[in-house]
Structure 1
Amino acid sequence: MDELQEFERYLAHLGGGLGHADRQAGLRGYCAGLMSPLARKSVEPMAAHLAPQATRSRHQSLHHFVADSPWSDEEMLLRVAQWVVPAMDFQDGGWWIVDDTGFPKQGIHSVGVARQYCGMLGKQDNCQVAVSVSLACQAGSLPVAWQLYLPKEWADDIPRRDKAGVPATLQFATKGQIALAQIKHLMAQGAPRHCVLADAGYGVETAFREGLSEIGLAYVVGVTGQVTVWPPGHAPLPPAPYSGRGAVPKRQRLGDARHERPLSARDVAFGLEPHEWHSVEWREGTNFTLRSRFARVRVRAAHREHLRTQQRPQEWLLIEWPEGHKEPMKYWLSTLPEDTELQRMVLEAKMRWRIERDYQDLKQDLGLGHYEGRGWRGFHHHASLSIAAYGFLMAQQLRHPEDAGKKNAARGEEPALPTHYKPRGSPAHAAPRAIVHHEFAAAYRRSLAQDAAQMPMLPENEQ
């Protein structure tokens, strides 16, 4: 079976970054387990599925590989990208997509768990949250950076950090700061300079947007209607005249007149004329052509103007206000070039929803949220391996799009996502896509069973 041979080559490529030959078996078994038709893809059920006659020893081996073995998650994700990115077509554009995803948890001991917003539940609850950056093209996307968000109560609790194995050098950082650091690291490694997409959870952070501009990356990021901007005809007052005494005033001022104060994005939308709104079509994946009403205007972001000596550069405020709605539905700020066509800008703004499909596939089909350990290393190892399994399937789908319809031919009857689950920002009619090929996974499991080399109970000579 050519696909099995390709998978073996893929695992050999990934295994080159594990640092120890004994870890190859753990990689093969764990990825095979993640692609199997199991309702729960934690270590114990995967071990029972892979080795029914030797479940205990296989459980110990897989647990050691994911929870304790000191291989590099960064190196794993880099090697996944090296395999997948050559299959991606960037002729129609490329994007960096920033997002986070939550994992509901009970108790207080799992690393990073706290009461915070959980997108899977759509509310504040006890959960872990991870921040990611994905590389996307029109046909597919892949997470290339992944880090658990550590709430401040965790970052400041040294005994709890030590027990969970949180790196001593890790300091508290907001999700926006984590994402910006991930992007800067990718750029330092020579990654392509694509436009950055993010939702309002990141876009409302002035420091996040300014950080992207400082490293020369364009962005289309969601904001709320409360974000303030300087639309045409509005501007802060220049510094006060010098009185002849003390330091020369250099900071801008806010005046009392309406045109001397910024407006909320919502007020800007309500002030636009009917002819400034346009019906625009865009395609959601390959399933639907969608239409809505949009307007855009050149603005300058407004934030702490009294501390600045000059105005910020102009950028686009893009607004979506569907027909029949009482008020606008979404807002974006964008530093795409001034001559960018409206339809193209809408397409780029909407492209962020591709990451929601990734998370849906990773959670529903590849066990991203099924890790039951409590430590920092295990949490990140499990995520890296889920992304590694996903990367192979995504590369196959990109290289052989004609086979995409066959991927679910032999799907098991494992439960789908909870019926109340709706990825943040996804339209209600976003159709699922077939990513996992369970017939292939079953064939690979049989190949593992025929392998004469048994996995050791614990790898020897760990470095």
Structure 2
Amino acid sequence: MGRIAGRFARVEPRRRAGRLVLGLLSDLPRKNCWTIAEWVGEATPHAMQHLLCRASWDADAVRDDVRDYVVEHLHDDDAVLVVDETGDVKKGTHTVGVQRQYIGTAGRIENSQVAVYLVYAGSRGQAAVDRELYIPREWTADTARCQAAGIPTQRDFATKPELATVMIERFLDAGHRASWVAGDEVYGGNPKLRTVLEARGMGYVLAVARSAEVATKAGNFRADALVGRLPKPAWQKLSAGAGAKGHRFYDWAVIDTADPGPGHRQLLIRRNRHTGELAYYRCHSPQAVPLSTLVKVAGSRWRVEETFQAEKGLAGLDEHRRFVSWTRWATLAMLAHAFLTVVRADEHTRPPAPDDLIPLSCNETQRLFITLVVQPVHDPAHRLNWSAWRRRHQARSQASHYRRQAATQT
């Protein structure tokens, strides 16, 4: 918290931000201003809500501090920047950026809010270092709706690849370096993003659809049409990384492409060893690299799912309705998760644990930190006061709903 202290205009919001981060690290089953305010010992949630909506502090500067903190402690010359979006199912139409759209967490089209994240993935761990809320075109075309949600007037519509490009360039312009970028088909199918990465001298392994057109010396072909031209020895069994149940082994093959421009360009193909399902990746590297390197980068894409799971489960990432409060909440959730990731990474540099214990995970680090260091204990009066506050607030809300209903029926 000392690293971000200078981003606050007053000491009170700085201290309250520290308490909010502790609440995000807590074992509360649901994390919002109400539950965290009660957990840290405040009488009402109003001060926490003020911190997120109106207090004077620079969330983008804190975001930059989080990025610097992560890179400093997880530094890896072969790090991969993974771009991906995550969505959260929402009710109603007032939550900023919400619309009916496909989200991977539900596996279907839902009324949801979607954000794009940039994750720094190195050998010591991974953590989000940037975030951008996806604002659909139907929102940016409605000035009144944007104003009601607190979206800045200068915010224009931007696609998810465009948001990813902004975050990657922000990372590089800050003086940080990463060797590779990985992402799914949303990003691999965008030629502008690929052009920017090539101009910045970055390698990438980006998924593409099977219908993607690939240029070869023999002509242009769909990606899936090239699979039948591969001889059997072209496939190699390689691990895309360790998972919870062991290594993720697939069959892999690579084809050199004839796309113009400097560097080495290839089509990477992954085949499931049990189902035969195929996946395709456009690859670019400033210098020639072995197939194993491309496979390792492709496997880094899955690490972003672990980051989202941890940030939502351990740090309450998926909350808030207005643009300013979403930005601030997401930034502090990234900070909370980055803290757990760095502590875990530092613990792994110590003498190894006994053979019958796995290394500390972020989940176990959180449990130990809250239990041994900051577990708050509140007397019955505090709990009873909060019970009365909730019931009083709920009574006012219920009365308001009944008055509104009565007004519409007359």
Gaps of 5+ in 1: 1-10, 235-261, 302-310, 410-431, 451-463
Pick aligned residue for 2:138 from 137, 141, 153: 153
Greater per-residue helix proportion: 2
Of 32, 43, 47, 1:55 maps to 43
CA distance in 1, matches of 2:364, 2:99: 32
Equivalent residue number for residue 321 of structure 2: 374
Equivalent in the alignment of 1:388: 335
1:164–1:375 contact (8 Å) kept in structure 2: yes
Q: Which residue of 2 aligns with 1:347?
A: 296
Instruction: Give the alignment partner of residue 209 of structure 1, picking from 173, 184, 194.
Output: 194
How many pairs align?
372
Cα distance in 2 between the residues matched to 1:448 and 1:169: 45
2:188/2:207 contact within 8 Å kept: yes
Deviation of 1:209 after TM superposition, in Å, equals 1.1
* Structure 2, gaps ≥5 residues long: 380-410
2:230 to 252, 272, 276: 272
Does 1:175 pair with 2:160?
Answer: yes
Q: Decide which of 276, 281, 289 is 1:332's aligned counterpart.
A: 281
> Residue deviations 1:401-423, cap 9 Å, x none?
259989xx9xxxxxxxxxxxxxx
Q: Secondary structure at the match of 2:255?
A: strand
Structure 2 residue aligned with 1:459:
none
Per-residue deviation at 1:337? 4.8
| Aligned residue in 2 for 1:231 | 216
Of 262, 270, 295 in structure 2, the residue corresponding to residue 320 of structure 1 is 270
Seen in structure 2, the aligned counterparts of structure 1 residues 435 and 222 have a Cα distance that, compared at 3 Å, is farther
Query: CA offsets per residue over residues 232-289 of structure 1, 9 Å max, x none?
Result: 322xxxxxxxxxxxxxxxxxxxxxxxxxxx2110001122111211122343258622
Residue 442 of structure 1: CA displacement?
Answer: 4.0
Query: What secondary structure sits across from 1:55 in the alignment?
Result: coil
After superposition, the CA RMSD in angstroms is 2.5
The equivalent residue for 1:362 is 311
Are 2:201 and 2:286, in contact at CA under 8 Å, matched by a contact in 1? no
- Structure number with higher relative contact order (C-alpha < 8 Å, ≥ 6 residues apart): 1
Match of 2:63 among 60, 77, 80: 77
Pairwise CA distance, 1:216 = 2.0
Contact kept? 1:50, 1:445, Cα under 8 Å: no
The letter for the 2-side match of 1:359 is F
Q: Secondary structure at the match of 1:160?
A: helix
Q: In the alignment, does 2:18 pair up with 1:28?
A: yes
1:334 alignment partner AA:
C
Q: 1:439 aligns with which of 368, 371, 378?
A: 368
Map 1:72-111; keep pairs closer than 5 Å. 72-91=58-77, 93-111=78-96
Deviations 1:348-402 (A, max 9, x none): 1111111111100011111111x2x421000011111111111111111111125
* Partner deviation per Cα, 1:24-68 (whole Å, 9 max, x = no partner): 2211110111111111101101112221xx432xx1111111122
Structure with the bigger percentage of strand = 2
**Structure 2 letter corresponding to 1:344:** T
- Distance, in Å, in 2 between the alignment partners of 1:88 and 1:449 is 37
Which one of the candidate residues 168, 171, 174 is aligned to 1:189? Answer: 174
The CA distance in 2 between the partners of 1:98 and 1:297, in whole Å, is 24
| DSSP-derived class of the 1:38 partner | coil
Equivalent residue in structure 1 for 2:9, among 14, 19, 42 = 19
Tell me the equivalent position of 1:283. Answer: 241
* Aligned counterpart in structure 1 of residue 34 of structure 2, from 38, 44, 56: 44
- Partner of 1:26, secondary structure, is helix
**CA offsets, 1:114-163, max 9 Å, x none?**
11111210111111100111212022112111010000000111001011
Which whole-Å CA distance do the structure 1 matches of 2:353 and 2:366 have between them?
10
Percent identity between the two aligned chains: 25
Deviations 1:407-451 (CA, angstroms, capped at 9, x unpaired): xx9xxxxxxxxxxxxxxxxxxxxxx8635522322455457989x
Q: Bigger shift: 205-214 or 155-164? A: 205-214
Over residues 99-127 of structure 1, what are the superposed CA-to-partner deviations in whole Å (9 max), with x where a residue is unaligned? 11101100000110011111210111111
Q: Distance in 2 between matches of 1:205 and 1:190?
A: 25
Q: Deviations over 1:279-300 (max 9, x none)?
A: 2234325862232111101114
Kept in 2, the 8 Å contact 1:35–1:436? The answer is no
CA distance in 2, matches of 1:435, 1:171: 42
Paired with 2:218 and 2:79, the residues of 1 have a C-alpha distance of 35
The one-letter code of the counterpart of 2:86 is: T
